[in-house]
Amino acid sequence: MNTNFNIRQTLECGQVFRFCEPTPHTFRIIAQNNFGIYNEETDNNLDEYNEFWYNYFDGETDYSQIKKVLSSKDEHMKNAVEFGGGIRILKQDPWEMLISFIISQNNGIPNIKKSIENICAKYGSKNQMHGEDYYAFPTVEQLVLATNEGLRECKVGFRDKYILDACAKVSDGTIDLNQIYNMNSDDAREYLMQISGVGPKVSDCILLFAYKKNDIFPTDVWIKRVMEGLYFNGEEQSLKKIKDFALDYYGDLAGYAQQYLFYYARENQLFKK
């Protein structure tokens, strides 16, 4: 078994929403216009995946060295890496991540997934593969036709206006998602925050999970509590202090560290209130 790739750990660490487990150990994944069915027990060799999914699962990156460096930091990180050693940071579509993480604000994962599937069914293109119908994530051109009412029918709630603003700004060129690949993380964050409803946490998730900007440490109330428990003796710290500490301590591997810690703490119910 490839100890650097575990499909369940990768899908269940908070970075992706368009997947399900219709039968035990088998995952159904949709990304943009692509549909894949993979079994966690037999499909653990990325070299056997086609080009799209190999790239999606970040097949070119050597995670052995990343894990070695992070594990040497301290016992907490070592435990997290050992526990979630098969996590890989996905290389996802920027447009899909922009809309998905706008929807994620103050929202639970089951609701996020349902809203995204509703949007895909209402505005995306219907396709078929492996004998199953599925809907692609809507393109900018498709979603820009949405209305507040239509989006609210998709159960996005107050986020409808943010989605429409994202559609407008990407459609008219105010935001060029391809340009972000060439920006440093700070400039890219400020650039994305021109979109209504996109704050530091949402932009950091987009930058990490779409652009692989690994000097990013997405910080919300949950990861803040984890960091306080592991590194600050449970004493409350500001979000900025947590983020600054993580970037200084983990450096260019901060994004990977966040994913290992998030998965380890969540699966083991650490510091849960």
In a 10 Å sphere around its CB, with 0-12 CB exposed, 13-18 middle and 19+ buried, how is residue 153 labelled?
middle
The dihedral built from the CA positions of residue 75, 76, 82 and 85, taken in this order, carries a sign that is: negative
- DSSP β-bridge partners for residue 127: 134
Active-site residue flag, 201 = yes
Helices 94-103 and 200-209 meet at what angle, rounded to 10? 150
- DSSP β-bridge partners for residue 129: 132
In a 10 Å sphere around its CB, with 0-12 CB exposed, 13-18 middle and 19+ buried, how is residue 42 labelled?
exposed
- Contact by Cβ (8 Å): 156, 112: no
Angle at 185 between CA 184 and CA 188, to 5 degrees: 85
- Count of other CB atoms within 10 angstroms of residue 220: 18
Q: Could you give the CA distance from residue 240 to residue 271 in angstroms, rounded to a whole number?
A: 20
- DSSP β-bridge partners for residue 37: 28
Active-site position among 201, 213, 224, 243: 201
The dihedral built from the CA positions of residue 155, 161, 163 and 168, taken in this order, carries a sign that is: positive
First-to-last CA distance in the chain? 36
User: In degrees to the nearest 10, what's the CA dihedral of 76, 217, 110, 129?
Assistant: -110
- Count of other CB atoms within 10 angstroms of residue 30: 24
Active site residues: 201
